[in-house]
Amino acid sequence: MNVEWLIVGGGIHGVHIAARLIGEAGVAPQDLRIVDPGDRLLARWRSSTATTGMTHLRSPAVHHLDLEPWSLKRFAGTRRRRRRPKSFAPPYDRPKLTLFNAHCERVVNAYGLSELHLQNRVTDCAIDDHRVGVRLSGGDRLEAANIVLAIGAIEQPAWPDWAPRDDARVSHVFEPGPHAPFEPESTVAVVGGGMTAAQVALRLSREGHPVHLLSRHPLRLHQFDSDPGWLGPRFMKAFLEEPDLDRRRELITDARHRGSIPPDVRRPLRQAIVEGKIVRHESDVRQLDLKQDGVALSLSDDHVVEARRVLLATGFDSRRPGGRWIDELIESESLPVAQCGYPVLDSALRWHPRVRVSGALAELELGPVARNIAGARRAGERIVGQLLEAVDTHPMRSAATSAP
């Protein structure tokens, strides 16, 4: 198969960029494909958010996958007339997860993206003068004039050294597929100090499980995972003027409120702790011992926590996403990377004239919000903005086919 545009990754970023390319840059749907191993687009987003038990997004209503900023609000209005109240939660009008997901589905349908989804995984990628050649896990090959890497970080869950990887009693919330069911009322130890850990602990508690919540640090209260100043020029201007990419990496690390929770999650968490439904330990895990009917976790404060199951909510590995095939692409094409291993991009998010990136991989250009929905919107604007500019300056070319 030969296409003009190939998007690798059908998550939040891949879907939004596909919508922008078709809806704004005029790319014909038949010239575009999205490769993603999920059985539908956004499968990993849906499963990971469902696992957490979250009811609302952390981000505001203008952060969604459609093109026009008020699209989600308008969509909610039409649904409300069909008897669905309370679609948004204060502060900042954060959408209900069910509403957000229904709106994502509307975007997927509006641009016919399901028909463009190839359920597969990219395993290799090579570039020649004219095309990007991609091999898929089944052995099939694809060629594209342009590819967009939107692979996210979900396939790299952070796994502490003490946690065995091959024992069903220990799992990570962001592992794919359904988790082995929890025995009713069995004790679960949730490890992690951020929003996901708190939400999962609350969900399990609501389902009747006694829960131990093990965090290394005190509860950190932040409405968002970085200051909203990073959404606009207030902080981004200085970030983009910073030529030293190591310094940009430091700015990103400092800006992120890692392991933080917003007030509307802290409130029920505190309540559950007061009621003894969740026991919170502020301590590091030193060792895990497998027992006949569960596990024993030895903590740095000398306590031992016994539980039937351990659920890791320890976030994502900070290594550059992508693994072997991205390493090989960097090597074969001499693609520039910073000290931290992440791509060095131009302002249109090009890593190579035929390779654009979005999401986690675009952090050094998009700043601390790169991984979020706001980052997807910003990536879409940058990529399509450059295509439209190229059309303006070359009136004989169409945006759909313009290779840079």
Ligand X SMILES: Cc1cc2nc3c(=O)[nH]c(=O)nc-3n(C[C@H](O)[C@H](O)[C@H](O)COP(=O)(O)OP(=O)(O)OC[C@H]3O[C@@H](n4cnc5c(N)ncnc54)[C@H](O)[C@@H]3O)c2cc1C
Interface residues with ligand X (CB under 6 A) are 8-14, 35-38, 44-45, 48-49, 52, 57-59, 63, 121-122, 150-152, 154-155, 196, 359, 371-374
Chain position whose Cβ is nearest to ligand X: 11
As measured in angstroms, the least distance from the Cβ of 244 to ligand X is: 26
Q: How far is the CB of 378 from ligand X (least distance, A)?
A: 11
Nearer to ligand X, 142 or 305 (CB): 142
**Smallest separation (angstroms) from ligand X to the CB of 235:** 17
Contact 197, 221 (CB under 8 A): no
Radius of gyration for the chain, computed over Cα atoms and rounded to the nearest angstrom? 22
Closest to ligand X by CB, 9 or 259? 9
* Minimum separation from the CB atom of position 304 to ligand X (A): 30
Nearer to ligand X, 91 or 164 (CB): 91
**Is the CB of 76 or the CB of 373 nearer to ligand X?**
373
**Counting beta carbons within 10 angstroms of the beta carbon of residue 274, is it exposed (0 to 12), middle (13 to 18) or buried (19 or more)?**
exposed
State the minimum distance, in angstroms, from the CB of residue 122 to ligand X.
Answer: 4
- Residue whose CB is less far from ligand X, 295 or 366: 366
Token pair recorded at residue 253: 């690390």
Cβ of residue 150: shortest distance to ligand X, in angstroms? Answer: 5
- Judged by beta carbon, residue 150 or residue 211, the one nearer ligand X is 150
Measured from the CB atom, is 152 or 367 closer to ligand X? 152
Q: Smaller CB distance to ligand X: residue 71 or 372? A: 372
Residue 128 tokens read as 């020649």
Q: How far is the CB of 157 from ligand X (least distance, A)?
A: 10
Beta carbon of residue 159, minimum distance to ligand X (angstroms, whole number): 15
Whether residue 91 has a cis bond before it, omega within 30° of 0 = yes
Kindly state the smallest distance separating residue 215's Cβ from ligand X, in Å: 17
CB 173 within 8 A of CB 51: yes
Between 38 and 192, whose beta carbon lies closer to ligand X?
38
CA dihedral 307, 309, 310, 311 (to 10 degrees): -130
